Amino acid sequence: MAKNKGQRRPKATTPKGFRDYFGAEVTARKAMLDRIAAVYHRYGFDALETSAVETVEALGKFLPDVDRPNEGVFAWEEEGDWLALRYDLTAPLARVAAQYRNDLPTPYRRYAMGPVWRNEKPGPGRFRQFYQCDADTVGAASVAADAEICAMLADALEEVGIPRGDYVIRVNNRKVLNGVMEVAGILDPSDPSKFEAERGIVLRAIDKLDRLGVEGVRALLGEGRKDESGDFTKGAGLGDAQASIIMSFVQVNETAQKQLVRLSRSVPEETGSQLRVAAYDSNKHVDAGWRDEVTSKIWNRQVLSVLMDISGQSEIGAEGVKELAEIANLLHAQDYGPDRIIIDPSVVRGLGYYTGPVYEAELTFEIKDEKGRPRQFGSVAGGGRYDDLVKRFTGQAVPATGVSIGVDRLLAALAAKGRLDNSAQGPVVVTVMDRTRMADYMRMVGELRAAGIRAEMYLGNPKNFGNQLKYADKRQSPVAIIQGEDEAAREVVQVKDLILGAKLAQEATLEEWKSQPAQVEVPRADLVATVRGILDRHK
Amino acid sequence: MAKNKGQRRPKATTPKGFRDYFGAEVTARKAMLDRIAAVYHRYGFDALETSAVETVEALGKFLPDVDRPNEGVFAWEEEGDWLALRYDLTAPLARVAAQYRNDLPTPYRRYAMGPVWRNEKPGPGRFRQFYQCDADTVGAASVAADAEICAMLADALEEVGIPRGDYVIRVNNRKVLNGVMEVAGILDPSDPSKFEAERGIVLRAIDKLDRLGVEGVRALLGEGRKDESGDFTKGAGLGDAQASIIMSFVQVNETAQKQLVRLSRSVPEETGSQLRVAAYDSNKHVDAGWRDEVTSKIWNRQVLSVLMDISGQSEIGAEGVKELAEIANLLHAQDYGPDRIIIDPSVVRGLGYYTGPVYEAELTFEIKDEKGRPRQFGSVAGGGRYDDLVKRFTGQAVPATGVSIGVDRLLAALAAKGRLDNSAQGPVVVTVMDRTRMADYMRMVGELRAAGIRAEMYLGNPKNFGNQLKYADKRQSPVAIIQGEDEAAREVVQVKDLILGAKLAQEATLEEWKSQPAQVEVPRADLVATVRGILDRHK
């Protein structure tokens, strides 16, 4: 085939599932990541950029026991070693934490931003290369590290342009759920491998609360559930008593709310109204903001008390509730109340993976879905504690906790809120009327650039002047500069306001056309000042 | 093997030839690239970020005619297609220019920054993943595009911190050399394939001028050359007349200088001294800067005149000289004189690859080499015109010109000049004296962060206070905050100036210790102001 090199033209296309990013797509993402990085830096996190390529052995998930390890990663063999593109930023962190364990500070706070690669079936909006943005603390057992990351996540969201009230960070704890499972008799601390299948079904069932509702989850905990199409999903087979313990966990928020409302009727009116406010706000899941610190503390305390009622008989459950209380306490100390960060046992996503506190950032404003129906924007970041990060390399357990922001999701959210910095910022275009006077045009461009104004000379074939204006249009240029022989002789230039011109062309009356000329002739010496004036007017 | 997964611990190491970048290594590079991007943006260039993975077919250089295309690239087979990591940013640009040719503006100015991968033998300072930073204009036949990129490169170098006078951009033209070859009778425009081997040897010989000197190059043009070790390198076998034409090209700068000096003796003294200044400055290769625009124009004109003498009989040679004159003219119009950008026929690097103007940015200040000898820093960027970029995809020739900055070289240069922004910027560390008062410490950290001060609470095991100060040391913290039970009761904090402390520990007298206490006790309410004051003092 190599012999026939010249015979067939190669296809100019990205590989399936990959894409290119142009102009503002690149700079808007970069601007967002820069803002996040500034917050992470302020929190004492250090940048880390690992190589895109890792050994398959270090990545861990995949071993070359078959012909090649192609499940989920892009991998290839290199002089007997299997190499692969990283599929996330956590596996490389684990490798780094082990490799440099004698040199890195303990704890090691690091952030990382960059592309990762997944060898998965691409779909609409799903690409095989995409950005991740992570922050992790390695080597800190204290839940103060978890609290810190939640606070940092809140700051980062506000910094990129999600206003307070439009997001909420929900915190739960794997240990609490383990406690509930223990109380329900489907987790035996002395033999954790027992009932594993049942626990898996329970986790998946709880995760479907939003979709199936209380009845649906209850059915999946018992014998099973038949959906509308008649398909039957086998359940966990729990007895009534067991299932109702799990259901009480699923409904902690509702219980806490009812308790607060009931309590409010038996106390003096002033306290009572505070309790009702706390209960009411919780019901709206923070949307309206919390009246004051007192009511927010009441809410967290009430939720924690219900959780303790359910799981406190179990040692691990009590520990989990205590950790959540500590997190709430540390966050309150910095004025991160439940208007931003809330203890919420309904967060179960990722509970199967994490070992302690988990957290999820959700955007609470509504957008329209494909069919025009309003829906909540949903999750943009998540994380938690995973204490086995470094163990597979060194044999030593190292506590770690971290968060990952969904870069594309967050960009989409900012776009939906009109907060994306993707203004076109086209350049001023100096047109070429007279090919022998390129040096003059270049000098104009040079003056504009020296004044900090984005500018270019038209570098295509200048013969057809219409093409030059079409080019300026394609570039979304705010201003075009024109100087023909006649203007040059009179030492003037024509300055054409393309933004105003487009507006006038669409909607102006004859009078407006006359009173607001989109093109002005000014002395050559006034070029920069005139352009600056137009740009300032359109800011 | 997968069965024994748990048996053997994986090695925590990067693959051979790859490395990780920590903290300031990441942020200093990013800061430099951000500054360059701002200049490129001002020049009207748009960001482009292509995927790291391309089809081997689109990358072009490599075809799967053997078992796998592993020469120079990292490649693997994916469902019958060969994919590879990009080895530069130009090949993806060619693919993009072809793929989106109906949507992109013409000309298309784009910049790209990011890692590329080379499957080459790693060596000291040579890695298999490294950054490139490119800017190209696709679809502009005018050498105004080349002139623009040279001006932009000069601006970019100054923007990142290379002062004027410490760099020079040399411009040459492949066409001039082709003209010289034609005049010397080793290029036949009607059959360019003739004498290809000879021309290859001539190019390589000219490239060795710095190392072998005039005599050495002359020998390689003729029969050949024996080096000190006695090894013989076969020459191009040119006749005396042919060789002397090539040699006159190699020595254009010297000839232009001699002519200027001779001319200066036959004209009135005022003009004469100007000519001598131009000649003198050229000899020092711009180091001292050029006296004024007149002398710099004289120099360029003299060089171009010598070039025309040598290659003007050839059509392509004359065209090349005319293009260089046009570039010089366009640059002069924007006040880029030879103190920054100079016509220099001695630039031959890359002449084999490019088809028109070529340019190279060289840093002219001295650094010490490994053996402590002073040497010029050398090249940090290069580029030129390559008009076959898109042709292999579409069959249509598309003119293009562009530059690539050697990111690691430029970073090394900034480091050598002390202009690298890699200040450690360690965080203020709030120590944990009393584990039950974490919320109080967290509140201190929160206040510092809210004031924009980088800060963290110690998150390791607080038992051993010495470890906390060791940690602050490792983090290069400027300040540590201490509040034990006693201080808390009195509502004060201890603020420890770690930078002053380190200085005093090294060199202070007892009096200085007393007069400049490195640790002060201040009211809790003054925490932020006190820290701010210390940080400002150390700025």
Q: Are residues B274 and B349 in the same domain?
A: yes
Q: Which of A292-306, A419-433, B113-127 has the lowest mean pLDDT?
A: A292-306
Mean pLDDT throughout B248-277? 84
Between vectors from CA A64 to CA A62 and to CA A69, what angle results, nearest 5°? 60
- Residue A360 within a domain: yes
Could B334 and A438 be called an inter-chain contact, meaning their C-beta atoms sit closer than 8 Å? no
- Calculate how close chain B gets to A449, using CA atoms only, in Å: 6
Mean pLDDT throughout B364-377? 82
Q: Best of A5, A22, A443, A458 to disrupt the B interface by mutation (most B CBs within 10 Å)?
A: A22
Residues A359, A149 contacting (CB under 8 angstroms): yes
- Residue B8 within a domain: no
pLDDT in the model for residue A293: 60
Q: Are residues A267 and A237 in the same domain?
A: yes
**ipTM entry:** 0.90
pLDDT(A12) > 60: yes
> Which has more confidence, B371 or B144?
B144
Contacts B60 to A, Cβ<8 Å = 10
CB nearest B137 (choices: A9, A139, A459)? A459
Mean pLDDT throughout B324-351? 86
Residue at which a domain ends, from B380, B415, B439: B380
Mean pLDDT throughout B177-194? 91
Q: Which of A262-271, A294-303, A483-492, B442-451 has the lowest mean pLDDT?
A: A294-303
Owning domain of residue B313: 160-380
Count the domains in chain A. 3
- Calculate how close chain A gets to B374, using CA atoms only, in Å: 33
Among residues B408, B410, B404, the alpha carbon closest in space to that of B93 is found at B404
Q: Are residues B238 and B319 in the same domain?
A: yes
Dist. CA A255–CA A302, nearest whole Å:
9
- Residue A8 within a domain: no
Q: Are residues A245 and A124 in the same domain?
A: no
Q: Coil, strand or helix: which one is A372?
A: coil
Could A333 and B439 be called an inter-chain contact, meaning their C-beta atoms sit closer than 8 Å? yes
pLDDT in the model for residue B1: 38
Chain B residue with minimum CA distance to A149: B456
Mean pLDDT throughout A299-316? 91
Average pLDDT, chain A: 88
CB pairs under 8 A between A and B: 296
Between vectors from CA A492 to CA A487 and to CA A493, what angle results, nearest 5°? 80
CB nearest B452 (choices: A42, A109, A129)? A42
- Calculate how close chain B gets to A461, using CA atoms only, in Å: 8
Among residues A471, A466, A469, A493, the alpha carbon closest in space to that of A481 is found at A493
- Residue A378 within a domain: yes
Q: Which of A199-213, B307-321, B427-441 has the lowest mean pLDDT?
A: A199-213
- Residue B144 within a domain: no
Q: Are residues A350 and A413 in the same domain?
A: no
Dist. CA A526–CA B473, nearest whole Å:
57
CB nearest B459 (choices: A15, A144, A395)? A144
* % pLDDT > 70, chain A: 91
Between vectors from CA A492 to CA A489 and to CA A495, what angle results, nearest 5°? 140
Task: Residue A443: give its domain's CATH number.
Answer: 3.40.50.800
Q: Coil, strand or helix: which one is A61?
A: coil
Dist. CA B539–CA B535, nearest whole Å:
6
Could B333 and A106 be called an inter-chain contact, meaning their C-beta atoms sit closer than 8 Å? no
Q: Are residues B219 and B332 in the same domain?
A: yes
- Calculate how close chain B gets to A75, using CA atoms only, in Å: 7
pLDDT in the model for residue B292: 57
- Calculate how close chain B gets to A59, using CA atoms only, in Å: 9
Residues A12, B58 contacting (CB under 8 angstroms): yes
Tell me the per-residue pLDDT of B205-214, one tens digit each, with 9 for 90 and over: 888 888 888 8
> Which has more confidence, B354 or B137?
B137
CB count within 10 Å of CB B262 equals: 11
pLDDT(B417) > 90: no
pLDDT interval class at B61 (50, 70, 90): low
> Which has more confidence, A298 or B399?
B399
Could A446 and B151 be called an inter-chain contact, meaning their C-beta atoms sit closer than 8 Å? yes
pLDDT in the model for residue A286: 45
Could A47 and B60 be called an inter-chain contact, meaning their C-beta atoms sit closer than 8 Å? no
- Calculate how close chain B gets to A279, using CA atoms only, in Å: 26
pLDDT in the model for residue B53: 97
Q: Are residues A366 and A402 in the same domain?
A: no
**Buried-exposed string B170-190: b where 16+ CB fall within 10 A, e elsewhere:** bbbbbbbbbbbbbbbebbeee
Q: How far is CA A40 from CA A134, A269, A332, B45, B46, in A?
A: 10, 44, 20, 30, 28
pLDDT in the model for residue B287: 43
Residue at which a domain ends, from A386, A412, A443: A386
* % pLDDT > 70, chain B: 91
Residue at which a domain ends, from A365, A386, A407: A386
Contacts B155 to A, Cβ<8 Å = 449
Average pLDDT, chain B: 88
Q: Best of A35, A53, A473 to disrupt the B interface by mutation (most B CBs within 10 Å)?
A: A53
Mean pLDDT throughout B86-105? 94
Task: Residue B118: give its domain's CATH number.
Answer: 3.30.930.10
pLDDT in the model for residue A243: 93
pLDDT interval class at B526 (50, 70, 90): very high
Contacts A15 to B, Cβ<8 Å = 51, 53-55, 78, 81, 83
- Residue A48 within a domain: yes
Q: Are residues A41 and A108 in the same domain?
A: yes
Tell me the per-residue pLDDT of A115-170, one tens digit each, with 9 for 90 and over: 999 998 888 878 999 999 999 999 999 999 999 999 999 999 999 999 988 999 99
pLDDT in the model for residue B291: 47
CB nearest B129 (choices: A9, A53, A330)? A53
Tell me the per-residue pLDDT of A350-367, one tens digit each, with 9 for 90 and over: 777 788 999 999 998 888
Gap between the terminal Cα atoms of chain B: 57
pLDDT in the model for residue B280: 66
Q: Are residues A94 and A234 in the same domain?
A: no
- Residue B151 within a domain: no
- Calculate how close chain A gets to B119, using CA atoms only, in Å: 9
Residues A491, A524 contacting (CB under 8 angstroms): yes
Q: Are residues A327 and A234 in the same domain?
A: yes
pLDDT(A486) > 80: yes
Max mean pLDDT among A136-150, A338-352, A460-474, B284-298 falls in A136-150
CB nearest B392 (choices: A10, A48, A83)? A10
pLDDT in the model for residue A289: 46
Contacts A440 to B, Cβ<8 Å = 333
Tell me the per-residue pLDDT of A15-27, one tens digit each, with 9 for 90 and over: 999 999 999 999 9
Q: Are residues A176 and A302 in the same domain?
A: yes
pLDDT(B283) > 60: no
Tell me the per-residue pLDDT of A47-62, one tens digit each, with 9 for 90 and over: 999 999 999 989 876 4
Q: Best of A76, A130, A454 to disrupt the B interface by mutation (most B CBs within 10 Å)?
A: A76
The single-letter DSSP state of residue B121 is -
pLDDT(A70) > 60: no
Gap between the terminal Cα atoms of chain A: 57
- Calculate how close chain B gets to A104, using CA atoms only, in Å: 8
Dist. CA B89–CA B72, nearest whole Å:
15
Task: Residue A170: give its domain's CATH number.
Answer: 3.30.930
Could A47 and B27 be called an inter-chain contact, meaning their C-beta atoms sit closer than 8 Å? yes
Could A459 and B335 be called an inter-chain contact, meaning their C-beta atoms sit closer than 8 Å? no
Helix/strand/coil percent split, chain B, to 5: 45, 20, 35
Could B455 and A81 be called an inter-chain contact, meaning their C-beta atoms sit closer than 8 Å? no
pLDDT in the model for residue A389: 80
Q: Are residues B38 and B109 in the same domain?
A: yes
- Residue B375 within a domain: yes
Dist. CA A482–CA A464, nearest whole Å:
14
pLDDT interval class at A490 (50, 70, 90): very high
Instruction: Tell the residue number behind the tokens 């201040």, with chain if given.
Output: B522
pLDDT in the model for residue A269: 80
> Which has more confidence, B299 or B105?
B105
**pTM, to two decimals:** 0.91
pLDDT in the model for residue A281: 61
Could A147 and B12 be called an inter-chain contact, meaning their C-beta atoms sit closer than 8 Å? no
Mean pLDDT throughout B44-61? 92
pLDDT(A506) > 60: yes
